[in-house]
Amino acid sequence: MQIFVNPVSGPDGLKEWCMIELQGDLESRSLDGLRGFVGDLHFTNDNTPVLIIGHHILYGKVQSLEKAFAVLDKKSTLNKQTEYVVTAVIKKKLIFRDRPKPIVTLGSKKV
């Protein structure tokens, strides 16, 4: 079986994506599961990733991968062959190992 891989690059080259690694389980209350929006990803001034999921906050770190991953898009050509197009490369991952901390806000006090 032959697998055809086409590297496609735009004017700025291939897109570079990042992988997110979470420890433990990520559960949803909705019946749809985890489709769509999961949380907000931010970076501090010293490039520390911060992930906010619901009322919880996770602090992580950026790590380079030993071997890069290619993100492939499966396409069918005119002569009924399957071809894979490289759309992005993953060279880094964001690791969130610690337990999430609850976000607590102080409400206004009625006097």
Determine, yes or no, domain membership for 106: no
Q: How many angstroms separate the Cα of 78 from the Cα of each of 4, 6, 9, 56, 83?
A: 14, 15, 22, 49, 11
| Domain contains 20 | yes
User: What residue numbers bound the domain in which 45 lies?
Assistant: 4-26+37-100
pLDDT at 27: 74
What pLDDT, on the 0 to 100 scale, is given for residue 9? 58
Residue 31 lies in a domain: no
pLDDT at 2 over 60: no
For residue 55, tell me if it sits in a domain. Answer: yes
Within a domain: 72: yes
Q: Is residue 58 part of a domain?
A: yes
> Does 111 map to a domain?
no
**The CATH number of the domain where 82 resides is what?**
2.60.40
pLDDT digits (tens, 9 = 90+) for 48-90: 999 998 888 999 999 999 999 988 888 887 878 888 888 889 9
Give CA–CA dist 74/84, Å, rounded.
Answer: 5
Number of domains comprising the chain: 1
pLDDT score, position 49? 94
